[in-house]
Amino acid sequence: MAIWEVCVDIPRPEYPRPDLRRAEWRNLNGFWDFAFDDHNEGLSQGWHERGPFSRQIVVPFPFESALSGIGDPTPHPSVWYRTTFNAQRPPAGERLLLHLGAVDWEATVWLNGRELGRHRGGYVPFSFDVTGALQSGENTLVVHAIDTLSKDQPRGKQYWDQVPSGIWYDRTSGIWQTVWLEPVPASHIGRLQLTPNVDAATLHVAAEVDGDATGLSLEAVALDGGQEVAREVAAPGNAGLDLRLPQPRLWSPEAPHLYDLQVSLRDGGRPVDRVESYFGLRKVTIDGKNILLNDRPLYQRLVLDQGYWPDGQYTAPSDEALRADILWGRRFGYNGARKHQKVEDPRWLYWCDRLGYLVWGEMANCGLYHYSPQAVANVRDEWREAVARDYNHPCIVTWVPFNESWGIWGVRERAEVQQGVRDVVRWTRSYDPTRPVIDNSGWEHLDTDIADLHTYLRTGEQVAVWWPCYRSGQTYVYDSNYPFWAQGQRYGGQPVVVSEYGGMAIEEYPPPPDKPLQACGLDPLSRYAARYHDLTRAILDLEDVCGFCFTQLTDVEGEVNGVLTYGRRPKVDPDVIAAYNREAPAAYPISKLAPERACRR
């Protein structure tokens, strides 16, 4: 029996954690009381008990967004939320959990005036057991969020100044993913870690059990099309098991096959807890200069995806909107996305799994070219939570903790910075040895499984001339003093991916009147497709390159280099671009221009 009243007509109503689902839950999204606290006096004045909540906001949309009902993009570093819900205290042996999908950046939570706890990190979920603070009848939930302009915070593309400019965007502050309640047994599955083994045709299922697991056993059942194909029970006290899959069906972008999974905790013959999940059977490996998916060379045709929305900022207006972005990417001929400087909503990853869309999972970094020990620690700590959260998604084929030295400025020269990067890479490989890791996307590589490069050259000929520079060891980026390899490091034969190129704006689609053109070349619409083909063909023809990532899927605020407008309308015929993206890679003819000319800086 439910322990609360059921509500309907709430925003973002879909189940928020697709890889670990229970039948009973309650979504707390909707209208909440809200207040700005610009003088940061709310805590000392007891707003968690009697705050002056003079506004309302629609959760889970950030207050900067139009969908929140507030739409105020100016910095407000301290904000408060309050809502009420009716509930009954759980019966003996049961607990009630409160989940917050993401709150940027620091959150403190109270229920009925009792502090439940605090969390730092704006991109990952956190939970509290609210059973002890719950009362039968009406309950009051309060959240205090702090999001400063500090460059020490992982910010991604959120600007750290009063007004965004250039390739930096409006901030997302406070609650921006679903808030929800979930009743669970006192001993319950808190997390699943699902590791496929294609060679053995098995899935290793590991469960984290919250509460007393003494005498409990783990059972897992795999289903294909609703039919049971494998079942295994672990011995009591063993939180892991292997499911052997007969006639295994693999996951790939061409055939994104998924199995359903049921996992139970059992006390003898009595079920204690049961969750539902899913998995894809696939493996990612590196063979010399090739990246392999299921033992076959994988040419990655990716698009940079910032994950911003004109009416929701970080928060998509609907689950269907997340799905539609992936379908647009596929229609343009991309087989995946580099989700740039954002740990995305798990629902987007769910649709990538379902639709067969490759993903580079990337951490949001701190302020541009800013380094401090605290900044690296903040990235490190939140990155660990992000990788653990997203480990189960078969769509993710690469981890990227850092981008272009953001938050690790001076990596080529400073020993302590290099050590910080190495530590993050080492931990990532240790936690997940099944996926390659890129240490610092674009340049200043220290310890990377893929040598990825960023270039915004304007023509295919320039790309062809630039490439011998890289191959000959004169390894400075085409237009700057950023070396591809940090001090003391050299290329070690890794696969190469041109993971940013393009930056092409169209005259007929200018930036907003108050936003100057940024990070883009400018072409008339009549020339766009030809230049797109010229650049993409040149990259396809580069020797030893096994993938590209075009910048970008959509316009975002003043950065208007998307194949889609910010409102998700195509600027050019998707079928034309798709035909260019799907052309076969081939060895490019060696340019007659001397390499030394190409390598000047």
Q: Using CB atoms within 10 A of its CB, is residue 89 exposed (0-12), middle (13-18) or buried (19+)? A: middle
The pLDDT of residue 1 is above 70: no
Distance between terminal CA atoms of the chain?
70
pLDDT 10s digits, 384-403? 999 999 999 999 999 999 99
Q: Does pLDDT of 479 surpass 80?
A: no
CATH class of the domain at 298-598: alpha beta
pLDDT at 451 exceeding the cut of 50:
yes
**Residue, of 192 and 597, whose pLDDT is higher:** 192
Q: What is the pLDDT of residues 536-559, one digit of tens each?
A: 999 999 988 999 999 999 999 989
Domain boundaries for CATH 2.60.40.10 within the chain: 199-279
Judge contact between 457 and 463, C-beta under 8 A: yes
pLDDT at 225 over 70: yes
- Tokens standing for residue 457: 């050259």
Q: What is the mean pLDDT of residues 284-289?
A: 94
- For residue 485 the two structure tokens come to 């390899």
Tell me the three state secondary structure of residue 66.
Answer: helix
Give the residue range(s) of CATH 3.20.20.80 domains in the chain: 298-598
Beta bridge partners of 110: 115, 142
User: pLDDT tens across 456-470, in order?
Assistant: 889 999 888 888 776
- Can you tell me the mean pLDDT for 443-450? 94
Output the pLDDT for position 476. 55
Q: How much is the mean pLDDT over the chain?
A: 92
Q: What angle do CA 94, 100, 102 make, to 5 degrees?
A: 155
Instruction: Evaluate if residue 597 carries a pLDDT over 70.
Output: no
Domain over 26-185 is classified CATH 2.60.120.260: yes
pLDDT tier for residue 478 given thresholds of 50, 70 and 90: low
Question: What is the pLDDT at residue 592?
Answer: 31
What's the rounded Cα separation, in Å, for the pair 160 and 483? 26
pLDDT of residue 514: 79
Judged against a pLDDT cut of 60, whether residue 593 lies above it is answered with no
For residue 90, say if its preceding peptide bond is cis, omega within 30 degrees of 0: no
Place of tokens 């009362």: 135
22 or 163, greater pLDDT: 22
What would the pLDDT profile of 27-79 be if each residue is shown by its tens digit?
999 999 999 999 999 999 999 998 899 999 999 999 999 999 999 999 999 99
Q: What pLDDT does residue 481 have?
A: 67
More confident residue, 167 or 506: 506
The pLDDT of 448-477, averaged and rounded, is: 80
Judged against a pLDDT cut of 50, whether residue 596 lies above it is answered with no
**How confident is the model over 99-156, as pLDDT tens digits?**
999 999 999 999 999 999 999 999 999 999 999 999 999 999 999 999 999 999 999 9
Task: Tell me the β-bridge partners of 398.
Answer: 360
Structure tokens at 294: 């299921």
Strands (E), 101-239: 103-104, 106-111, 114-120, 126-129, 137-146, 174-175, 179-185, 188-197, 202-210, 217-224, 227-233
Q: Please report the pLDDT score of residue 600 as a whole number.
A: 32
Residue 601 scores a pLDDT above 90: no
Give me 112's structure tokens: 């009925």
pLDDT per residue as tens digits for the range 244-283: 999 999 999 999 999 999 999 999 889 999 999 999 999 9
HSE toward the beta carbon, residue 19, CA cutoff 13 A: 29
Percentage of the chain lying above the pLDDT 90 cut: 80
pLDDT at 480 over 80: no
Domain 199-279 carries which CATH code?
2.60.40.10
In sequence order, what are the residues at sequence separation of 6 or more whose Cβ sits closer than 8 angstroms to the Cβ of residue 112? 133, 134, 135, 139, 140
pLDDT for 104 equals 96
Q: Is 415's pLDDT higher than 50?
A: yes
Q: Give residue 599's pLDDT.
A: 34
Beta bridge partners of 32: 57
Query: What's the token pair of residue 238?
Result: 């063993």
Q: How far is CA 83 from CA 64, 72, 146, in A?
A: 19, 21, 18
Report the DSSP pairing between strands 26-27 and 179-185.
antiparallel
pTM of the model: 0.95
Query: What sign does the dihedral 517-520-523-526 (CA atoms) show?
Result: negative
274: three-class secondary structure by DSSP: strand
pLDDT category of residue 473 using cuts at 50, 70 and 90:
low
